[in-house]
């Protein structure tokens, strides 16, 4: 698999922490060392609550280090639809919670004097549909958001206009988060092996907690909660361009082929887009799409680095934050951030801090994982996707063999009457090496598909990913598929 560090990972050194060993007790055990887990631990610790953070790999090695790091209440063209489907009160609460998250980032950065390149900037969502933009502007204004409709932007291409939100923010996420780490109890390289109630077993021992929080992007357990039936995952791609030009705002394209843009220092622009549902990228070309756009829009710009991210998407586009299920009063979750992880992580930290301390929070019902979902069509679509992948795994046997896979490519073939995933690697001397893996996802049994952009095997059902030798890259699977013959 081709992999590069993000701009954030290349420009900051994150402290390392030991693995957990022994047997201990804590007030709150947080599983997941990304932004949601660390923000929650920081806030609870500030309130005098003892927290322990367990990270399976290293801090911020998941999606946190792969963000575009926009802190905004503008999450695409969502508010006009949210008012229609959820009602005005819910939409206003969502907007208020997002604006409060922006203010909280600023408060913490100012109080702790954190040098994290935080800038206050307008955010724009642009489109070719002017009427949709105007409706969104009217809805956002009605909800009390700092919105206006504009025709002119600084983008190097035409659009029908944009919705502009004032006083939004962008920052360097890892510089911000590393400043919060002193004083926190953190253990790295401590993957969860078993969970029984609120007792968690890792390779080095066990931790017993009064309360448990899952902040792992995708929850570690399937039942109760059934999150695997209530979310799907999508991949996004980003390239960092040097010698482009200075942007004075953050931009997000609402159309299917739209791009995300933001500045990241003098003359550096992050260009994102070409996303797709995980496991739905048979032809590849996502990074190539961004590179071609960069050549067209920013002639002469040089690519500093490229990376990708994976997000959990809920059917109603509102995160799940709160009690894991109705039957688990002391277990909590934060997931389904729908590509707006910086804002949603802060919303989650504030909300979970209140819930755990039994303090009222007026946004709890909006984000409750037990809320009644209105995106039935999306739920059915996800169910059909899962059923189709399971059926394919059971009933379909390809009629081609490994000899049909050309150098540098991967695909599913038949070997000895069994279905196998094959990648033919091109070696430095020009020869080739065959990598063979099982294509049955160990999470719930869906059939993996080849991702040509990242040379990985991806699950189209729930987003688990594996490298060319079957090693686990992304959960919810807890183990790799392994090599085979």
User: Are residues 402 and 466 located together in one domain of the fold?
Assistant: yes
User: Are residues 214 and 357 located together in one domain of the fold?
Assistant: yes
CATH of the domain at 445: 2.102.10.10
Looking at residue 358, what DSSP letter applies?
T
User: Are residues 180 and 324 located together in one domain of the fold?
Assistant: yes
User: Are residues 443 and 412 located together in one domain of the fold?
Assistant: yes
- Whether 285 maps to a domain, the answer reads no
Question: Tell me, what's the pLDDT at 379?
Answer: 58
Q: What is the DSSP string of 152-207?
A: --S-SS--SEEEEEEEEEE--HHHHHHTT-TT-EEE-S----EEETTEEEETTEEE
- Whether 325 maps to a domain, the answer reads yes
Our count of domains for the chain comes to: 2
Question: Tell me, what's the pLDDT at 449?
Answer: 93
Question: Tell me, what's the pLDDT at 476?
Answer: 87
Contact 219, 229 (CB under 8 A): no
Q: What is the DSSP string of 416-464?
A: TTEEEEEEEEEPTTS-EEEEEE--B-TTT-PBPEEETTTTEEE-TTT--
- Whether 451 maps to a domain, the answer reads yes
From CA 327, how far away is CA 330, in angstroms rounded?
9
Locate 328 and state its tokens.
């688990």
Question: Tell me, what's the pLDDT at 292?
Answer: 96
- Give every CB contact of residue 426 below 8 A, 6+ residues apart in sequence: 407, 408, 432
Question: Tell me, what's the pLDDT at 294?
Answer: 95
User: Are residues 322 and 470 located together in one domain of the fold?
Assistant: no
- Whether 88 maps to a domain, the answer reads no
Query: In Å, how far from its chain's centre is CA 2?
Result: 19
Query: If 0-12 CB within 10 Å is exposed, 13-18 middle and 19+ buried, where does residue 193 land?
Result: exposed
- Give every CB contact of residue 309 below 8 A, 6+ residues apart in sequence: 63, 66, 67, 235, 236, 238
**Between β-strands 205-214 and 331-335, what pairing exists: parallel, antiparallel or unpaired?**
parallel
Give the other-Cβ count within 10 Å of 190's Cβ.
26
pLDDT tens per residue, the chain (485 residues)? Answer: 344 799 999 999 999 999 999 999 999 999 999 999 999 999 999 999 999 999 999 999 999 999 999 999 999 999 999 999 999 999 999 999 999 999 999 999 999 999 999 999 999 999 999 999 999 999 999 999 999 999 999 999 989 999 999 999 999 999 999 999 999 999 999 999 999 988 999 999 999 999 999 999 888 776 676 787 788 999 999 999 997 788 999 999 999 999 999 999 888 999 999 999 998 887 888 999 999 999 999 999 999 999 999 999 999 999 999 998 888 889 999 999 999 999 999 999 999 999 999 999 999 999 999 998 875 565 566 556 655 555 455 445 566 777 888 888 998 898 877 889 999 988 899 888 999 999 999 988 899 999 999 899 999 988 899 999 999 998 888 889 977 66
Q: At what angle do helices 88-111 and 341-356 cross, to 10 degrees?
A: 90
Contact 54, 200 (CB under 8 A): yes
- Whether 343 maps to a domain, the answer reads yes
From CA 321, how far away is CA 366, in angstroms rounded?
9
User: What is the residue whose two structure tokens read 């887009």?
Assistant: 273
Residue-range definition of the domain harbouring residue 413: 396-474
Query: In Å, how far from its chain's centre is CA 460?
Result: 16
Length, in residues, of the chain: 485
User: Are residues 456 and 337 located together in one domain of the fold?
Assistant: no
User: Are residues 406 and 466 located together in one domain of the fold?
Assistant: yes
Question: Tell me, what's the pLDDT at 223?
Answer: 66
- What beta strand segments (E) does 243-297 contain? 250-253, 260-263, 269-277
Q: Which residues of 417-452 are buried (b: 16+ CB within 10 A; e: fewer)?
A: eebbbbbbeeeeeeeeeebbbbbbbbbbebbbbbbb
Question: Tell me, what's the pLDDT at 217?
Answer: 85
- Whether 97 maps to a domain, the answer reads no
Query: Which of residues 329, 353, 379 is at a domain's end?
Result: 379
Coil/strand/helix, residue 320? strand
User: Are residues 196 and 328 located together in one domain of the fold?
Assistant: yes
CATH of the domain at 336: 3.50.50.60
Give how far Cα 241 sits from Cα of 103, 194, 258, 306, Å: 29, 43, 17, 9
- Whether 23 maps to a domain, the answer reads yes
User: Are residues 321 and 456 located together in one domain of the fold?
Assistant: no
Query: Which of residues 354, 379, 404 is at a domain's end?
Result: 379
User: Are residues 361 and 469 located together in one domain of the fold?
Assistant: no
- Whether 282 maps to a domain, the answer reads no
From CA 215, how far away is CA 31, in angstroms rounded?
6
Residue of 253, 272, 269 whose CA lies nearest to 157? 253
User: Are residues 466 and 406 located together in one domain of the fold?
Assistant: yes
User: Are residues 225 and 339 located together in one domain of the fold?
Assistant: yes
Question: Tell me, what's the pLDDT at 388?
Answer: 56
When computed from its CA atoms, the radius of gyration of the chain, rounded to whole angstroms, is 22
Question: Tell me, what's the pLDDT at 324?
Answer: 87
Overall pTM > 0.85: yes
pLDDT tens digits for 310-345?
999 999 999 999 998 888 889 999 999 999 999 999
Contact 480, 472 (CB under 8 A): yes
């Amino acid at each position: 698999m081709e992999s590069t560090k993000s701009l954030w990972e290349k420009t900051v050194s994150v402290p390392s922490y030991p693995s957990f060993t022994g047997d201990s007790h804590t007030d709150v055990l947080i599983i997941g060392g990304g932004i949601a887990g660390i923000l929650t631990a920081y806030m609870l610790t500030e309130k005098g609550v003892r927290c322990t953070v367990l990270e399976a790999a290293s801090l911020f090695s998941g999606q946190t280090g792969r963000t575009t790091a926009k802190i905004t209440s503008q999450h695409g063209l969502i508010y006009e639809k949210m008012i229609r489907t959820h009602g005005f009160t819910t939409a206003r609460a969502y907007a208020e919670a997002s604006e409060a998250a922006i203010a909280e980032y600023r408060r913490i950065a100012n109080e702790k004097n954190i040098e994290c390149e935080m800038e206050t900037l307008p955010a724009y969502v642009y489109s070719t549909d002017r009427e949709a933009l105007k409706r969104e502007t009217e809805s956002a204004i009605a909800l009390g958001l700092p919105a206006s409709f504009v025709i002119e932007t600084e983008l190097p291409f035409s659009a029908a206009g944009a919705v502009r939100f004032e006083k939004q923010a962008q920052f360097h996420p890892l510089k911000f988060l590393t400043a919060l780490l002193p004083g926190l109890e953190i253990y790295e390289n401590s993957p969860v092996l078993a969970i029984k109630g609120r007792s968690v077993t890792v390779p080095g021992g066990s931790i017993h907690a009064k309360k448990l929080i899952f902040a792992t992007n995708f929850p570690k357990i399937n039942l109760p909660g059934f999150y695997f039936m209530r979310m799907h995952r999508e991949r996004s791609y980003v390239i960092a361009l040097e010698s482009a030009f200075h942007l004075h705002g953050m931009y997000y394209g609402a159309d299917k082929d739209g791009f995300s843009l933001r500045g990241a220092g003098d003359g550096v622009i992050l260009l994102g887009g070409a996303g797709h549902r995980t496991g739905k990228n048979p032809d590849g070309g996502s990074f190539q799409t961004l590179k071609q756009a960069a050549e067209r829009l920013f002639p002469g710009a040089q690519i500093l680095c490229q990376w990708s991210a994976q997000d959990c998407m809920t059917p109603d586009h509102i995160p799940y934050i709160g009690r894991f299920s109705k039957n688990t009063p002391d277990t909590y979750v934060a997931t389904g951030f729908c590509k707006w992880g910086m804002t949603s992580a802060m919303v989650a930290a504030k909300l979970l801090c209140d819930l755990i301390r039994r303090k009222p929070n007026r946004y709890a019902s909006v984000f409750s994982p037990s809320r009644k979902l209105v995106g039935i069509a999306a739920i059915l679509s996800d169910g059909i996707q899962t059923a189709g992948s399971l059926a394919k795994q059971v009933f379909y046997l390809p009629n081609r063999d490994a000899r049909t896979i050309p150098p540098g490519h991967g695909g599913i073939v038949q070997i000895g009457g069994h279905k196998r995933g094959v990648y033919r690697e091109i070696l430095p001397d020009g020869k080739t090496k065959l990598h063979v893996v099982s294509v049955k996802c160990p999470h719930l049994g869906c059939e993996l598909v080849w991702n040509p952009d990242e040379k990985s095997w991806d699950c189209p059902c729930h987003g688990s990913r594996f490298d060319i030798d079957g090693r686990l890259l992304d959960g919810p699977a807890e183990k790799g598929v392994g090599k085979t013959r």
